[in-house]
Amino acid sequence: MHFCIYTCLIKLNERYMKNRTGAPVDGNDFFGREKEIAYVWDLLQNGNNILLPSPRRVGKSSFAKKMLEKAEGEGWEVIEINLERAHSELEFVELLTGELRKMSVWERSKESGIKLLEIISALKPTLSIGGAEVKLDWKKEKSNIYRELERILPHDREVLIFFDEVAVLLNGILLDSNGDKRQIEELMHWLRSLRQVSGSQIRWIFCSSVGIENFTTGHQLSKTINDFSYYELKPFSSEAATSMIIELEKGGNVTFNEEIRAQMLAKLGYLLPYFIQVLFEKMKGKIQIEDALIDQNLVNKAYNEIIEGAYLNTWDERLREQYGDHKDDAYLLLRHICRAKEGMKRENLHNLLYQKYSDADRTDSILATLLNMLQNDGYLAENNAHYLFRSPLIRDFWFNRFVK
């Protein structure tokens, strides 16, 4: 009897959501989005492949993992590859082969499988040496590799394949080939052709925290992903965010009241689960370590620590890493936009850049590109003909770091 109560308590405890920030969450730590899951599952079942183009930290990877869980629950087989782990096309092929090898169908196409493994292992040692010779070897074998992969992919089975961080791999390959687009073009076309196999029961989810659309548009590759159904994940509604805070309270052994929760939402404005988690964790730390009182000051203090700390660094780093020639202009725009809560008009932004380029057409074109990129990547939103920071939290962080 005692034993039963004890295990029941443990079970109950296990069901509480843990506040896991940073890595994509899964299982019980994933909160909400029930309607979105049902909707996207329906899309998949109706034969669509899904591209999740939302800005970073919205929860794409976590959501895609949830879809894999759902698919597995329905008896599908699943494959998940984070393409950030692949630094070349060969490494991508190796990862994919490794995943296919774990599937029951591997036995059925074993001959192709063995051939594929042989080619990969013959290429690998030369790869570590590097240089032009390797690229030649790879070129020679490439069509064989893709042919064998095509033979192994089980189009007659219900399989959900999730590729995360697609643009990171594409960028890597592009850099490696000194900007020559052909290799990524061929890869993207090959992947598209797999999605076109008639009667295929394989479904695909592509995610990318580097705006995949920025990438494909920038390299005239949009048509290689035009068959996807786009599904844009949104931030949480106030109701969902409040329920999430309540769940976090249960898991974290703290209790806020309605007012505090409302203050948290008001402060964040843009309700990404990640921001909610970070704010919650800061507040919890202050209560449990610094014996802070649960009052209005608590939310403000926690918030201020976030905008002064390292939590949001990736918003700065990604821009620096991925905006190439556009970097300086992006910083210039954001430095000005973060000063204005309501945002800035396009013509004012135009004037800013014009001072640098003194050429109206050129300024127009650069501004259009940048505003598009910054919106796709979740920095900016457009409202009433004004461009403003999508999240007050990021805006305050930006102001703090680059203006104050």
Ligand X SMILES: Nc1ncnc2c1ncn2[C@@H]1O[C@H](COP(=O)(O)OP(=O)(O)O)[C@@H](O)[C@H]1O
CB of residue 16 vs ligand X: minimum separation in angstroms?
13
244 vs 259: CA distance, rounded Å: 15
Q: Per CB under 6 A, which of residues 193..232 are in contact with ligand X?
A: 209
Asked if 54 is part of the footprint of Mg ion (rule: CB under 5 A), the reply reads: no
**In terms of DSSP bridges, do strands 202-207 and 386-389 run parallel, antiparallel, or are they unpaired?**
unpaired
Cα separation of 56 and 376, whole Å?
10
Q: Pick the closer one to Mg ion by CB: 209 or 391.
A: 209
Q: Which residue is nearest to Mg ion (CB)?
A: 61
Query: Residue 51 Cβ, how far from ligand X at the closest point, in Å?
Result: 13
Residues 6+ apart with CB under 8 A from 170: 184, 187, 188, 215
- Contact status, residue 267 vs residue 94, Cβ threshold 8 Å: no
CA angle 162, 81, 122 (to 5 degrees): 135
Candidates 17-25, 119-127, 259-267, 346-354 — which segment interacts with ligand X by CB under 6 A? Answer: 17-25
| String of contacts with ligand X for each residue 273-292, x by CB under 6 A | xx--x---------------
What is the distance between the alpha carbons of residues 180 and 345, in angstroms, rounded to a whole number? 37
DSSP state of 109: G
Contact 338, 403 (CB under 8 A): yes
Which of 204, 256 has the CB closer to Mg ion?
204
Interatomic CA distance for residues 218 and 258, integer angstroms: 46
If binding is defined by CB under 5 A, does position 62 make contact with Mg ion? no
Q: Which is nearer to Mg ion, 206 or 256 (CB)?
A: 206
Q: Look at residue 80 and give its three-state secondary structure.
A: strand
The least CB distance from residue 24 to ligand X, in Å, is 4
Q: Which residue is nearest to ligand X (CB)?
A: 59
Q: In what order do the strands lie in the sheet with 344-345?
A: 344-345, 386-389, 380-383
Residue 211 or 273: the one with the smaller Cβ distance to ligand X is: 273
# binding residues, ligand X (CB under 6 A): 22
Amino acid at 356: K
Q: Which stretch binds Mg ion (CB under 5 A): 59-67, 115-123, 320-328, 372-380?
A: 59-67
How, if at all, do strands 159-164 and 344-345 pair? unpaired
Shortest approach of ligand X to residue 11 CB, angstroms?
21
In this complex, which beta carbon is closest to ligand X, that of residue 154 or of residue 273?
A: 273
Q: What angle do CA 213, 21, 7 make, to 5 degrees?
A: 130
Bridge partner residues of 322 (DSSP): none
Question: What is the nearest approach in angstroms of Mg ion to the Cβ of residue 353?
Answer: 31
Among 19, 61, 112, 214, binds Mg ion (CB under 5 A): 61
Distance CA 372, CA 217 (A): 11
**Which is nearer to ligand X, 57 or 142 (by Cβ)?**
57
Return the residues of window 23-62 that contact ligand X according to CB under 6 A: 23-25, 29-33, 56-62
Binding status of residue 242 toward ligand X by CB under 6 A: no
Residue 57 interacts, among Mg ion, ligand X, none and using kind-specific CB cut-offs from 5 to 8 Å, with ligand X
Q: According to the binding rule CB under 6 A, does residue 192 interact with ligand X?
A: no
**What track of x and - describes contact with Mg ion for positions 196 through 235 (by CB under 5 A)?**
-------------x--------------------------
Per-residue x/- mask for ligand X, residues 139 to 178, rule CB under 6 A?
----------------------------------------
- In the list Mg ion, ligand X, none, the entry touching 22 (Cβ below 5 to 8 angstroms by class) is ligand X
What is the crossing angle of helices 327-337 and 360-376, to 10°? 80
Question: What is the bridge-based pairing of β-strands 229-230 and 50-52?
Answer: parallel
Residue 25 C-beta: closest distance to ligand X, Å = 4
**Residue 252 binding ligand X, by CB under 6 A:** no
Contact 123, 138 (CB under 8 A): yes
Question: Residue 192 and residue 186: Cα distance in Å, rounded?
Answer: 10
DSSP 8-state code for residue 376? H
| Footprint on this chain of ligand X (rule: CB under 6 A) | 20-25, 29-33, 56-62, 209, 273-274, 277
| Footprint on this chain of Mg ion (rule: CB under 5 A) | 61, 209
